[in-house]
């Protein structure tokens, strides 16, 4: 697909990619274009951007097949290192969680755990699982976005890192009570990932948290 014909409106500028709002009737679309890094050799930079574009689009596609709610891929323009995907209209969870009462927040945490469980069951590790990368449509269930750091892995260490990042985001950004909030995440995760995967993932998440505390007090 040739993304140069699309009408682009700046949405967000990031370190690795720029996001634009566009339309690909009948859909509103997000155009994600990986940016050139001047410090890298030009040929190497092009190779890295192309590989990461393909890897991210594959992770989004595989996550959706696994049952997770993600944007849908509408097209790729590998010559311009572009992914075109559906626009998810809603609030970023980072900006919404603190305004919720428990009657809405607790089911949300459970659903987030379920979504992560779908990813991990399919061997997908998000890599940047924070409330900044979760969109909450009005009255709907959460979508996970930004798979730019996603990898394929079935290692408990990698799954545990994902869960630790989410737990740390909930506690540090939103000051939620650690035990009760993460119990709800774990409940949803267990429903999607099963008991064996849940045990190994949570065990590793706890180990990673202990390592962080150890290094913090040295």
**What tokens were used for 131?**
């409330």
> Residue 123's closest CA among 82, 153, 158?
153
Chain position carrying tokens 């682009």:
8
Alpha helices in the chain (DSSP H): 42-65, 93-96, 102-121, 156-174, 178-193, 195-217
Measured at the CA of 158, the angle between CA 156 and CA 163, to 5 degrees, comes to 90
Give 155: exposed, middle or buried? Use CB within 10 Å, 0-12, 13-18, 19+: middle
Distance CA 50, CA 191 (A): 36
Q: Angle at the Cα of 22 (from 17 to 25), degrees rounded to 5?
A: 135
158 annotated active-site: no
What is the DSSP secondary-structure string of 100-115? --HHHHHHHHHHHHHH
Radius of gyration of the chain (CA): 18
**Residue 14, token pair as written in the block:** 């990031």
Given 2, 89, 128, 138, the catalytic residue: 128
Instruction: Indicate which residues carry an active-site annotation.
Output: 128
């Amino acid at each position: 697909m040739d993304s140069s014909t699309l009408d682009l409106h700046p949405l967000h500028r990031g370190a690795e990619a720029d996001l634009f709002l566009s339309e690909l009737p009948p859909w509103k679309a997000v155009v994600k274009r990986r940016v050139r890094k001047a410090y890298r050799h030009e040929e190497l930079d092009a190779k890295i951007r192309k590989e990461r574009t393909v890897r991210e689009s594959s992770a989004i596609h595989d996550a959706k097949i696994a049952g997770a709610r993600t944007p849908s891929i509408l097209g790729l323009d590998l010559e311009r290192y572009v992914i075109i995907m559906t626009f998810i209209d809603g609030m970023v969870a980072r900006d919404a969680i603190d305004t919720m009462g428990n009657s809405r927040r607790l089911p949300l945490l459970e659903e987030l755990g379920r979504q992560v469980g779908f990813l991990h069951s399919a061997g997908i590790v998000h890599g940047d699982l924070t409330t900044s990368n979760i969109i909450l449509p009005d009255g709907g269930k959460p979508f996970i976005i930004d798979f730019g750091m996603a990898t394929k892995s079935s290692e408990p260490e990698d799954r545990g890192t994902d869960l630790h990042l989410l737990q740390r985001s909930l506690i540090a950004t939103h000051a939620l009570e650690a035990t009760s909030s993460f119990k709800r995440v774990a409940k949803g995760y267990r429903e999607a990932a099963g008991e064996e995967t849940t045990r190994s993932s949570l065990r590793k998440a706890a180990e990673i948290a202990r390592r962080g505390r150890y290094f913090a007090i040295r």
